[in-house]
Structure 1
């Protein structure tokens, strides 16, 4: 051991690394967080606009109890550090035929809205879908999401105890095929098929089990007052209060071992002797040798490949015209049968679905003057290592704005191509990620078991973040921080 207090280096200050830093520092570990960027948050980033900083990463916060537990477990209170406000309208959905549907935090209101926008049969199918996804969520929350290392044995035991669970799982169906059976109207199937993209997958290749994402969202959507980045900043502040040290603009070049165990971390200008390392980056960076030869075999190849989807993200301030927006908005592709076909071939869609976060409309507000927006367009990962060209950015900008013009939505001033962060940009921001924002793809029934757990194959090296179990998304990455911190503490105590 390096000192009487074990020294843990955390590489990366994404939400998973921050959550682990808070827990480990509270438990008495000496924690040093090394982050190659200028501040905390990882993919939870902001960019400047004339209307103030705009979120350029995750915008939806679900599973509030995960964050309450993070603070409660270290003797703090979430509401004393971050203000979370619930959204009555979960999301507003638009189709080209003029149909508009608001899904609400009140389930009965959602049923009424569906009956009004579609028909009573659609409302009945939605109610049945909600009941089915609740069965899945309640069954798999503990043995899959909350556990540190899910096992097929535990899953089989869970299913064996409840025959209705097997029917709800539809293990031989993809999300797309399952939804086509659940909904007569293809527009509702299209709506919930999009949930596969929340974890970087395609509906026709992802397991039907991903429908339970709706249940997590239906239990509440919150926004962070001041923007999502406030969550990262305040977790960092709380960890500092327990003695954690944060070093930014620190490029880690090498993880060193001695006698088969982690012993040190090397940056461009310093060497840190450690008892354990927690890696909060894409696990593929380890396999790619970006941190030296020692951790190259710490993670199986199947745990990092094939890659998940990426995105092209437009972040800007402007005045919207032509469409009554909510805080969260989805504008659907014209043809749900073909919209994902290009992505499956590694190509950009020509008729995509677009998500828009109107950051200043949280809480039902209707701002006057320029507002902050984030628009997300799904895109395939990339093997290219060069930044996007001006032509590529202009083509992407044109695609996004033309697609929205079909719905009558425009912005003044018109956002420029410079407001885009594209797949190639993400590939450079997050090394060895290929631009993928969710780590390994969720395709296939066994995908959930292929994500790496907190413990790697190399003694003293642990993993955290959206590329590890239990998966992508802010709550899941936060839970991975809990799993990783517990594993580190347990192993250090036993050592």
Structure 2
């Protein structure tokens, strides 16, 4: 029911900005959403190709209930706006010794696959790891991910009630160390260790609790017909249906401050939009750096945005692929993960990289005729200035490496298909190229992310850089948290 009248300006049409705008407008607020680029999506962006727009950001939808709830809040159904394609095969994993492993959403199938891949002892280790991951997810879902602020007391109580989660929560237990207690096979440690990169970390420095990411993925994965960017466009249409005024191509120069609170924004063309509340759906580090003016520079703490998480070199292009039976999600592993994460920690391109390939047109299990769309991601360090030799080096370490697996592309993409860390730094001001915000390294990193409420009254945060963190559903939840906090503040007044 529309009851609360207030003017709100949302800066940025990413998942967090769109989710907050929809919920606020539904509640009766007068919402204007301004976006610097000419389309919604934020990191959910595309690059043109001969086969159509290629996703150059997120490639998959997990925890779809977050978006089902968002549409249902507006009296609509997600399935009426998008065709979501469930992916029973989560990913196909490849190693240079010729071994492969498919993992699905079915526990029994996975146990059997791991047994054939590495033996019965490892299959039992996987069963124990799966159970631990599910327990961790259950313990952290409500008090951490779904809560507007981490409820440390509730987390502690949940952990105390379930001693089987303790091995993952002990100080100093990294994800890699936790995996070593479950798997002797280095390939399986490598496979499940890669989940640290989902939030921009190294398995050697990220806490063991990140094992819960496997449980989140095992609940179900969906592809969006036509590409993930269509989810952003569906949310933009939903926002307009709720009365949100969407203004594209209008970058914000600064956030206005008067009387000790945020009072609106000034656009790059000099015009001002005044508001009772401002939601910033950008990297919170941009506020600290003064990129939105001096007014919000102290709105977030230094420790909530630094140190930075990983960046990446991302290829987005269309080509013909031959040599290997790719599925929608594919991971080609490095021979030595230390030669991947060691150089990254030193600010360098990995010497031996794990390569993730999304074959975007294979989500329905069919082999396309002609060129198809691909996205390849190679992890990299944030804050790395681009060098003249980087393109040739990245191209070699990507496509020469894939040829060692027997996979080739025709044509091999050119420089316009590559977004390097410096490109992400330009696209997302203040990020230093980091894709996931605050680094997840350290036992308490997840508790340090900035909340929706900043120290500047009237200024709120939404997006992957804020609590509860990176990822498509997490960013949307941050928008929900921001909207609920604003509506609570309005109701109290």
Q: TM-score scaled by structure 2?
A: 0.97
After TM superposition, give the deviation of residue 400 of structure 1 in Å.
0.6
Number of residues of Structure 1 aligned to a counterpart in Structure 2: 490
| Aligned partners of 1:397 and 1:420 also within 8 Å | no
For residues 419 and 411 of structure 1, the distance between their equivalents in structure 2, rounded to whole angstroms, comes to 13
Task: Determine the structure 2 residue equivalent to 1:245.
Answer: 245
State the SS of the aligned residue for 1:363. Answer: coil
Task: Deviation per CA, 1:38-64: give whole Å up to 9, x if none.
Answer: 110000011111111111100021111
For residues 419 and 398 of structure 1, the distance between their equivalents in structure 2, rounded to whole angstroms, comes to 14
Task: Determine the structure 1 residue equivalent to 2:311.
Answer: 310
| Aligned partners of 2:201 and 2:310 also within 8 Å | yes
| Aligned partners of 2:167 and 2:178 also within 8 Å | no
Question: RMSD value over aligned CA atoms?
Answer: 1.4
Structure 1 unaligned segments of length 5 or more: list them.
Answer: none
For residues 48 and 240 of structure 1, the distance between their equivalents in structure 2, rounded to whole angstroms, comes to 26
| Aligned partners of 2:91 and 2:328 also within 8 Å | yes
After TM superposition, give the deviation of residue 383 of structure 1 in Å.
5.4
| Aligned partners of 1:433 and 1:439 also within 8 Å | yes
| Aligned partners of 2:339 and 2:350 also within 8 Å | no
Task: Deviation per CA, 1:199-256: give whole Å up to 9, x if none.
Answer: 0011111000001000000111100111101100010101101110111111111111
For residues 56 and 261 of structure 1, the distance between their equivalents in structure 2, rounded to whole angstroms, comes to 36
State the SS of the aligned residue for 2:363. Answer: helix
State the SS of the aligned residue for 1:475. Answer: helix
| Aligned partners of 2:4 and 2:27 also within 8 Å | no
| Aligned partners of 2:196 and 2:202 also within 8 Å | yes
Task: Determine the structure 1 residue equivalent to 2:474.
Answer: 476
Task: Determine the structure 1 residue equivalent to 2:35.
Answer: 35
Task: Determine the structure 1 residue equivalent to 2:451.
Answer: 453
Do residues 355 (structure 1) and 356 (structure 2) align?
A: yes
For residues 331 and 424 of structure 1, the distance between their equivalents in structure 2, rounded to whole angstroms, comes to 24
Describe how 1:224-373 pairs up with structure 2 within 5 A. Answer: 224-269=224-269, 270-373=271-374
For residues 297 and 486 of structure 2, the distance between their equivalents in structure 1, rounded to whole angstroms, comes to 20
| Aligned partners of 1:454 and 1:469 also within 8 Å | yes
For residues 129 and 162 of structure 1, the distance between their equivalents in structure 2, rounded to whole angstroms, comes to 15
After TM superposition, give the deviation of residue 337 of structure 1 in Å.
3.9
After TM superposition, give the deviation of residue 162 of structure 1 in Å.
2.7
| Greater shift in the superposed pair: 163-172 or 468-477 | 163-172
Q: TM-score scaled by structure 1?
A: 0.97
| Aligned partners of 2:384 and 2:421 also within 8 Å | no
Task: Determine the structure 2 residue equivalent to 1:61.
Answer: 61
Task: Determine the structure 1 residue equivalent to 2:416.
Answer: 418
| Aligned partners of 2:339 and 2:351 also within 8 Å | no
For residues 290 and 172 of structure 1, the distance between their equivalents in structure 2, rounded to whole angstroms, comes to 36
Task: Determine the structure 1 residue equivalent to 2:440.
Answer: 442
| Aligned partners of 2:139 and 2:155 also within 8 Å | no
Task: Determine the structure 2 residue equivalent to 1:73.
Answer: 73
Task: Determine the structure 2 residue equivalent to 1:401.
Answer: 399
For residues 237 and 340 of structure 2, the distance between their equivalents in structure 1, rounded to whole angstroms, comes to 43
Task: Determine the structure 2 residue equivalent to 1:194.
Answer: 194
Task: Determine the structure 2 residue equivalent to 1:139.
Answer: 139
Give the counterpart of 1:489 among 487, 490, 493. 487
After TM superposition, give the deviation of residue 4 of structure 1 in Å.
8.0
